[in-house]
Structure 1
């Protein structure tokens, strides 16, 4: 029986493990752990308005990095930018633990967003390139389960720090140390012993790609970007703000990570059997239910379910939209992937800003949740219209 070496750069298991660790660092530590720490930071440092600004500019950095990464063709250059992403994830996290300068925090969150894009978009491209397996789609489903692990692991570290009466500042420092140590494995495995020779393929702008269906798909993905980021930024504080649910926010966020781990594989399997558009509509509908729960009831079990519905849908929806976009683009994915990513990113940037305005005006999260549910529902209606008018999608 052939032994498995986790230090073998060409081992599929090592490649997938390195990719998941990269997501834990780049997505968990550099992006989502902000949500875990938000209730604590709101108690003695952040205002809700500044928290919204920080969330928004983090997604500005991520959007810029995502669009930039689409145009990095050379795999050797990808490796360099992936390493830059790991460095940014670690250094910007450390900054949040050792200073309370608002200027430093703003710069750090922008750069952390860019680093997250390098870890997720560029790192995933390296994983896919290195995998030596016939069915890469299933393997990439395993890789993207790392987004769920990123929430779970980073939240677990925060819980340990708080268990020993640590502060949120110390939590950032511990997270930075964890990311620093673990990043070496990902950077080692997701690299090449010698420069890879690649033929440069230039894709020209093909306006015919942007059919009525594709335009609607892009608009629906914008709506999903809004739906993803509101709970992704505020969910623990939303739960803690409900009468009788003080302290349940952290546990709800843990459930988000648990539900997120198998979601990508599950939704992709369903899409293969029942069609991508049908499953996207179903997933977005479940997400709307999860969003509305906290505005309509303070029942503990239903609000825990809201976390499960969020974690169980948002990761899968990214995979569903991007997979469908890839199918529609054929051999010319750059423009279509860029358009989808941009629309999603604009939704992510805008949502925290209107959320903060509504929260400050009404002194409750309810109206933010109503507006968010309405926008995501708009995306569902758009996709249903493509079915009614039989617009070509799949």
Structure 2
């Protein structure tokens, strides 16, 4: 079978365009900031300002995600997807050519909004365009793009640094890469002609928010917290440990590699053993990864903490969102919005308490302990939720 990657209606082209959109939107506009953090801390950023920038980036993403849930028409989605990709590239360029703190602050908020358009709206376009009966596996491959977004952007940074260039040069190179990749994504993830769609308006349905669902939403908030601290500071956390200076970037590469297959693995396990059971296991694995750097300076264990983090955070987003979608039935927007908002609030808050604890104790350990405790509270809530589940919910 001949594969034409320039055919807008070819499934392989649609999946490739979706993955590239995630690499630009999530990698260039978000995760590569973590990759470049140690070198930026050396001569420009303070840890406090870095934490504030991370929090604002997530605030922009949260706003974009909520906004995305109100875009019903597919043709409008394409327009906002393109606008989001444009924002991701422009805001990356700002970081390479400016030292103005106000500009950096604005650019991180706007980049967060752009990332939401790339991930939330882009994924919706991929889902609409794919021509197959069961899209679950294909969407699992699509979301592996989050792992690729960490890995590919980290490799670009490594190549730039290999030529003894600066972090500013890295932002410029990432802008060029993002521009080229986005052209392909924007071309494939559009339609030959405007699609006529019957937009179904769903009323707010309070009955969706059963005690079980409320517990899930709170647990997803704790996962938003669990995702952020390592997602913002991991390379610097590793570099700050005795004898591990320089290992931070290797750990971050492992995060990306572990993230690539994680979505498909966790989703397969959820189909077999039940979503809530697998979410509990994934969160417990994540807690182990969070605690490693606070408890030991062993190089192999700390490298493994990157594998545990990358291997859980992407999968947990997919697991929660997939379960939320199943619970919502024909009215996914409200429930997905509630899930995304809870996760987003966790993301916005976590860097702020983290930098406060880092300043107070001059170490990352306390921030890691608090984060692990919050995620563990989420696990306890999920364990309790199993006692009030219906038989139907147990089988989801």
Name the TM-score class by shorter chain. Answer: over 0.9
Distance 1:213 1:257 in 2: 33
Contact 2:212 2:389 in 1 (8 A): no
Contact 1:212 1:391 in 2 (8 A): no
Alignment of 1:18-97 (within 5 A): 18-97=17-96
Q: Deviations over 1:286-340 (max 9, x none)?
A: 0000000000000001001100000000000000000000010000111110000
Distance 1:364 1:373 in 2: 16
Q: Give 3-state SS (helix, strand or coil) of 1:108's partner.
A: helix
Give the drift of 1:388.
Answer: 3.4
Q: Deviations over 1:226-281 (max 9, x none)?
A: 00011000000000000010000000000000000000000000000000000000
Contact 2:218 2:342 in 1 (8 A): yes
Distance 2:132 2:238 in 1: 43
Q: Does 1:134 align with 2:133?
A: yes
Partner of 1:380: 379
Runs (4+) off by over 6 Å: none
Partner of 1:335: 334
Give the drift of 1:4.
Answer: 1.2
Partner of 2:98: 99
Partner of 1:275: 274
Distance 1:67 1:142 in 2: 24
Q: Give 3-state SS (helix, strand or coil) of 2:386's partner.
A: helix
Partner of 2:352: 353
Give the drift of 1:135.
Answer: 1.4
Distance 1:100 1:133 in 2: 48
Partner of 1:369: 368
Q: Does 1:264 align with 2:270?
A: no
Unaligned ranges ≥5, structure 1: none
Partner of 2:169: 170
**How many matched pairs?**
393
- Of 242-251 and 379-388, more deviation after overlay is shown by 379-388
Q: CA RMSD in A?
A: 0.7
Distance 1:387 1:120 in 2: 31
Contact 1:90 1:180 in 2 (8 A): yes
Q: Deviations over 1:36-57 (max 9, x none)?
A: 0000000000000000000000
Contact 2:228 2:351 in 1 (8 A): yes
Partner of 1:123: 122
Contact 2:8 2:189 in 1 (8 A): yes
Report the TM-score when normalising by structure 1. 0.99
Contact 2:89 2:175 in 1 (8 A): yes
Q: Deviations over 1:166-204 (max 9, x none)?
A: 100010000001101111000000000100000010010
Distance 1:48 1:6 in 2: 43
Q: Does 1:286 align with 2:321?
A: no
Unaligned ranges ≥5, structure 2: none
Contact 1:287 1:309 in 2 (8 A): yes
Partner of 1:183: 182
Distance 2:389 2:111 in 1: 42
Report the TM-score when normalising by structure 2. 0.98
Contact 1:78 1:126 in 2 (8 A): yes
- Of 2-11 and 188-197, more deviation after overlay is shown by 2-11
Distance 1:298 1:5 in 2: 49
Q: Give 3-state SS (helix, strand or coil) of 1:388's partner.
A: coil
